[in-house]
Amino acid sequence: MASSSGSESKGPPGPVIVVTGTSGAGKGTIERILLERHPELELAVSATTRERRPTEVHGKDYWFLSDEEFDRRLAEKGFLEYVTFPWGQRSGTLLSEIDRIRAGGCVPLLDLETDGALYVQKKVPGAVTIFVTAPTFEELERRLRARATESAGEIGERLALAREQLELAEEFDHVIVNDELDRAAAEAEAIVRAEIGAGTSYH
């Protein structure tokens, strides 16, 4: 299981939408639909120590940090939460990202690993957590292998992690089974509307 921790800060008040789930569940696609249809949401760009892929942009897809820079931010209590994966890389949410989004009058949308999402759910007032999963474990494995962005060894580690994450699904506020994208996205939209109100801006 990925280990998780956070800073002493509970973050600013107000709603925070947290989307989590297993790798290959399609949570990123659902997030993109939410962002397109709800301009009051803005994605908090995560920081990571993994290598940047050729199509990724620093500061847009992720903040790509060296291990030394990540350690420095941790020492300065600059993270809302972070996780360490079994394969060594770390990722987390910078408090400066939450502040930046709030300053612009938007509601933060966080894409987190399950441990980080549970931490935020417990520590941040107003956090709303959504767990996204595939209809079956076999479908999850098929999606992971089809996207071909990880090595065979890393896919195996992600599948092992997914089994553990699925055991935690019921601890979240909402669970969405992504068996059909339009239906799953509509379910996510209904949750967002109920929690923050369509078209509402928060300052």
Q: Which residues pair with 91 in a beta bridge?
A: 48, 83
pLDDT at position 148? 60
What CATH number labels 3-194? 3.40.50.300
Residue 148: count other Cβ atoms within 10 Å of its Cβ: 8
The stretch 103-111 carries a mean pLDDT of: 95
Is the pLDDT assigned to residue 27 strictly greater than 80? yes
Closest CA to 17 of 1, 37, 40: 40
pTM of the model: 0.79
Is the pLDDT assigned to residue 68 strictly greater than 90? yes
pLDDT at position 160? 77
- Distance, in Å, from the CA atom of 29 to the CA atom of 173, rounded to the nearest integer, reads 20
Residues 6+ apart with CB under 8 A from 72: none
Comparing 11-20, 40-49, 59-68, 100-109, which segment has the lowest mean pLDDT?
Answer: 11-20
pLDDT in tens, 138-163: 777 776 777 666 566 677 777 777 78
pLDDT at position 54? 92
What is the edge-to-edge ordering of all strands in the sheet holding 47-48?
Answer: 3-5, 79-84, 90-94, 47-48, 63-64
pLDDT at position 197? 67
pLDDT at position 201? 40
Is the pLDDT assigned to residue 181 strictly greater than 90? yes
pLDDT in tens, 74-87: 999 999 999 898 88
